[in-house]
Structure 1
Amino acid sequence: MDTTEILSALLHPVIVTDGDLIIRFVNERARQILGISTEDAPSLSSLFAKLCERNGRPLAIDRIPQGRATAIHLNCNEFLKVDAMLHRHALADGGHCFEIHLDQNGSQSTLDPLTGLMERSQMFHLISRHRELGTGALILIDIDRLKIINDFLGYATGDEVIHALGQSFRGHTPAEVLIARWSGHEFMALVPPTHLGRTRELAELFNQLAHKLPLEHLPKLPGGRLSLSIGFTRFDARDRTQDPLSQVNSAVYEAKRTGRNRAIDAQTLTRPSIYLTGGSLESALAENRIVAAVQPIFDLATGEIVADESLARMITPEGKVIVAGEFIEAASSLQLAHQIDQTIIRQTINYCVTSHFRAPRAHFVNISGDFLRHPELIAETIATAMDACACTHPDQMDARQTKPLVIEITERELVDDTSDALHALQPLLDFGLRLALDDFGSGYSSYRYLLDLPFSFLKIEGELVRHIATNSKARRIVQHLQDMAEDLGLITVAEYISDQAIADTLVEIGVNWGQGFHLARPELMHPDPFSRIKLGTPMKHPLQH
């Protein structure tokens, strides 16, 4: 190994000059930190313009002592300043070697040791400054399946990937584009106004660079190459209503959700950030702003209310009611679903108690697969329900006595192994709660769950119900489902009844129960639960002629 190879391999910046201080060599680390592209041939004075003494005075070359360290500031750009020590050594041929050692004594290092890029804290500062000054763009780069690389090929290979990406990004992007190691598996690029028009091109370039990394072990991965999920967005100091960091996070999430290995413009997204929604959910849970809305379920033959379903709603601090469809994906992704389930279950049990003496009937409540993975919540549900039964159903305290609470679950929420699902549900069944299978007909596994689990109710998939009056295939499918349910002794429930034609068709087919906006809209639970819906007598509604 010759001298050049040794200097190139060093992890600290090295600059070598001849006796006249003309640069002969700059190693890769120096190019990274000082922002020198491979095509540049800078002078020593231009490089030293980026250095200054700790007191802020310019650093003069002729004042740098031989063989003794000089404390300096390294000015990598307008904002980034790093404490460092500069060493000057005389070479045998009359030349000079300048070495820069970053100050690592404190915890305020602004450079990532694995990649040589700036760290998150410094990039965050730069983003804040640039947002105050004018326009720019952010590109958030997430390494796809880095955990698989670490677990399958080892953490050394994972570090090799991160290091190689950092080197490649810095070596193939304009020096004006600032790049940082943002987290363990992420990089962030800050695009200046002069390169705004190239933002999408740069975002796609990062993935192209990842595809071409010549790493020895990557062919062992599925697909044989590395890929990235990337989000990008522009920002403008005149618009303070948007948070570009949240926007690029949302775009990366969307890139992963839609298949990875792609760059997504955050400006094209129509849904709020999953993380913003998650933050709102956590606040709502802490402040008791997750509430149940009750929708009546009717006997389609008689028009009487025979049950109801508790649906989760989030109330904003301003009083706006947010339906579950707008936050349930975030809740599932961020493992908050079980907390929402437990909140709604508690409210439904209380509702069951207060309504029992006026109109005892079944109360449906949804649970998630996340809830089933928390046996302590199942135990709490049973304990709460037992207390409720002591007040309203003292004759039903014994196990196996049928209780009014019905646990409703969709097949997508059940675990793959039905025996595991039954094991999780068994304490609820032993207590006397019944099961309803929601969205039946929406997936291939429905019949297997119906075979292996003791359901009492079958809720027909909403799309079939929506088209039942206008699509002969939908009608025949629902008819077959109804016939099967009758043979199995199951009660059928049709959701999403949106007009009279649908209601009439369901009655003709023989579907037992139904719910939907055409019959009754959900109502938020009230301190007096039945002050809005008088359930003591049959309700006059569109099914009654």
Structure 2
Amino acid sequence: MPMRSPVVFVNPDRIEERMDQPAENDLNLQLLRAYIDSANDGIFVVCDEMKFHVANQRLSHWLATPEHVLTDHCHRIPFTTFLPEVLDHNLFLRSLQETLAGTPARFDCKLAPINGAARWVEISMNRVALEIGDLVIGLVRDVGKQREVAAELERRARTDDLTGLANRSEFWGGLKRAVDQPKDVGVKSGLLYVDLDQLKLVNETCGHIAGDALLRDTAETLLSIVPQSALLGRLGGDEFGVLLESNDATDTMRIARRILRAIGTRPFRWNGATFKVSCSIGVVHISPGLSNVPDILGAADAACYVAKDKGRARIQIYTGHGLCHRRRTEMRWVERICSALSEDRFLLYHQRIVPIGADPNLGPFHEILLRLRGQNGSIIRPNIFMPAAERYNLMPAVDRWVVEQVLRSVADDIGFGHTRTGNDLEPLCFVNLSGASLNDRQFPHFLQRKIDAHGVPPERLCFEITETVAIQNLKRASHVVHQLKEQGCRFALDDFGSGMSSLSYLKSLPVDYLKIDGSLIRGIAVNSVDKSIVCAIQEIARDMGISTIAEYVENPDIHDVLSRIGVHYGQGYAIHEPCPLPSIATENGAITKEWKAHRTDMSIPVTHPFD
């Protein structure tokens, strides 16, 4: 570069200093150039026509074009030459205009040089105001790796890791889009809910690795059958969904039958073991009556459960009534029960159990009953929600909630000094225990921890199990009864007499009370057979030292017959209608005072409503 003539100032002492400045400027330019060429990111300067004025080595390499070609004074190349996609081209142009207007820009686009590798980049642009006019300086950063990671994370968020199919969230979204988009008149879609029938057996027999292999095999089978336009996903452990858009009912059923046949005729082999595999399929023909995703999936799930209830390995179309409707109703209650548990919307009620005879050593008791407060404040009886809780294994959680609340209530009474001497006059709470909790090996340990935590005498608790539950698993029932009685709790056998095929099991169950089934009590005053059965139960109970409680005592005639037979206690709406649980001891104290006042004439219950 030729040396410029030095600028001469009046002060001769500064002449030498000014003569040195051109060399310093050259050095600064060389350092600046070395800096931008050593950068790991691309750097460029363009004018308002998007043409290159500067491009560092990194960017020139990415564009597979030397800088002197990009910036040739007479043939400068526009940046958009390397953005063949129309969207990227327009995005760059719009961002450049915003930058020249004073707003810095940042965006992603795809560089695609003719002779080089395409790559995703992030471009940041800022305006530089110079005397010769405004230019734009840009920074180009390779974001290919970040986009690959983001794409992989997105793929994992949308797909099931085991099978590669859409996961439940992605399937939900696809079903929602299908439901929301307008449909031509007469065009319908179908949903198949496919549930493997033998996955649990394979897992328990050969381990979960074998179970995973079965799931992958099933996914491959489904992929080979359903059309490419279908959305196929894994919805749960052994559940798959197939969304068939624009499919009429005939086509939907044809595909369902092909799936049923393909899975049912393809045995699964693992380490020498062979399993005959089948599936149950719930089918929903999507219609205006099923207009949202929860309703559609719930209907398909309900239909699939009905198919399993009918013997598995079959197809069930959702009809909206009958078994499908009942199943759907139960499944809706599952969500409500879970919400009630988390929101503490269960309520304890109680019903008095009062002595029928004049034995001064007997005192009134309480059966603890459960209610659910609905979202609108209504009180819901257990016969509405209990079937769903039992079917979907929610009873252990419900039972534990009840036990916790009862112990808390009893502990509050003790804290207020309401206990009395003499165990028979202590408030005794009868608490129902489900078959699921009876089979829960952790329940006795849970109960002991809670009793210790609340400081409640275990003699204040009497657990009720139904005769049916006890007979179904007599060994387990006997073990739990013995275990809880060792802790100090008492036991009652509920609905006794409803399954009188055998009475020998009573020898294995050291219960304290027999609650005679209400179906025998209702007709005892007019039906000699019912009376004879109750007499036999009372005689057996007396010989075994067990107290008896008659349920459904609904009028004075029933009470009089029970009194003559010698039944110890009565319970029913005529004696006391269930009501919210107050302070147990306070309530019991009021009953006891009244009972003692009338102890001289106990042929009529103390709380008799027919006086």
TM, length-normalised to structure 1: 0.66
Q: 1:117 touches 1:166 (CA, 8 Å); kept in 2?
A: yes
Q: 1:346 touches 1:384 (CA, 8 Å); kept in 2?
A: no
Q: 1:312 touches 1:340 (CA, 8 Å); kept in 2?
A: no
- Establish whether residue 249 from structure 1 lines up as the match of residue 301 from structure 2: yes
Pairing partner for 1:340 from 380, 384, 401: 401
The residue aligned with 1:81 is: none
Q: 1:148, CA displacement in angstroms?
A: 1.2
Distance 1:443 1:113, change over 3 A: same
Q: 1:285, CA displacement in angstroms?
A: 2.9
1:453-497 CA-partner distances (Å, limit 9, x unpaired): 321101123443445556654443332212111111211112234
CA distance in 2, matches of 1:56, 1:450: 82
Q: 1:440 touches 1:446 (CA, 8 Å); kept in 2?
A: no
Distance 1:426 1:137, change over 3 A: same
CA distance in 2, matches of 1:326, 1:55: 62
Larger Rg: 2
1:400-427 CA-partner distances (Å, limit 9, x unpaired): xx93432222355559776765665556
Pairing partner for 1:142 from 182, 195, 216: 195
Q: 2:407 touches 2:451 (CA, 8 Å); kept in 1?
A: no
Q: 1:378 touches 1:427 (CA, 8 Å); kept in 2?
A: no
Q: 1:493 touches 1:512 (CA, 8 Å); kept in 2?
A: yes
Pairing partner for 1:483 from 539, 544, 565: 539
1:103-136 CA-partner distances (Å, limit 9, x unpaired): 9844515566765644434322211111212564
The residue aligned with 2:284 is: 233
Following superposition of structure 1 onto structure 2, how do residues 66-85 of structure 1 map, counting pairs within 5 Å?
none
Q: Which amino acid aligns with 2:594?
A: T
Q: Percent identity?
A: 27
The residue aligned with 2:172 is: 124
Q: 1:380, CA displacement in angstroms?
A: 3.0
The residue aligned with 1:260 is: 312
- Establish whether residue 314 from structure 1 lines up as the match of residue 372 from structure 2: yes
- Establish whether residue 380 from structure 1 lines up as the match of residue 452 from structure 2: no
1:234-261 CA-partner distances (Å, limit 9, x unpaired): 4456745963223333444444455433
Q: 1:187, CA displacement in angstroms?
A: 0.8
Following superposition of structure 1 onto structure 2, how do residues 209-228 of structure 1 map, counting pairs within 5 Å?
209-216=262-269, 225-228=276-279
The residue aligned with 1:518 is: 574
The residue aligned with 1:290 is: 346
Distance 1:283 1:215, change over 3 A: closer
Pairing partner for 2:215 from 142, 146, 162: 162
Q: 1:215, CA displacement in angstroms?
A: 4.4
Distance 1:167 1:403, change over 3 A: closer
Q: 1:137 touches 1:196 (CA, 8 Å); kept in 2?
A: yes
What is the SS of the residue equivalent to 2:170?
A: helix
Distance 1:289 1:105, change over 3 A: closer
Normalized per residue, the structure richer in helix is 2
Distance 1:123 1:418, change over 3 A: closer
5+ residue gaps, structure 2, are 1-83, 89-115, 121-149, 183-187, 596-604
Greater shift after overlay, 375-384 or 356-365?
356-365
Distance 1:417 1:182, change over 3 A: closer
The residue aligned with 1:14 is: none
Q: 1:325, CA displacement in angstroms?
A: 2.8
Q: How well do the aligned residues superpose, as a CA RMSD in angstroms?
A: 4.6
The residue aligned with 2:466 is: 410
1:430-454 CA-partner distances (Å, limit 9, x unpaired): 4543221122234579745521232
5+ residue gaps, structure 1, are 1-52, 58-67, 73-102, 390-401
Q: Which amino acid aligns with 1:454?
A: P
Q: 1:372 touches 1:425 (CA, 8 Å); kept in 2?
A: no
CA distance in 1, matches of 2:412, 2:263: 56
Q: Paired residues, what number? A: 443
Greater shift after overlay, 505-514 or 108-117?
108-117
What is the SS of the residue equivalent to 2:320?
A: helix
1:204-253 CA-partner distances (Å, limit 9, x unpaired): 553333222254569966xx632223333344567459632233334444
CA distance in 1, matches of 2:219, 2:478: 49
Q: 1:293, CA displacement in angstroms?
A: 0.6
What is the SS of the residue equivalent to 2:459?
A: coil
Q: Which amino acid aligns with 1:169?
A: L
Pairing partner for 2:491 from 422, 435, 445: 435
CA distance in 1, matches of 2:271, 2:282: 24
Q: 2:176 touches 2:293 (CA, 8 Å); kept in 1?
A: no
CA distance in 1, matches of 2:167, 2:341: 34
1:340-392 CA-partner distances (Å, limit 9, x unpaired): 3323432552476477579854321223352662344222343256x356xxx
CA distance in 2, matches of 1:242, 1:375: 38
Q: 1:499, CA displacement in angstroms?
A: 5.4
Distance 1:276 1:451, change over 3 A: same
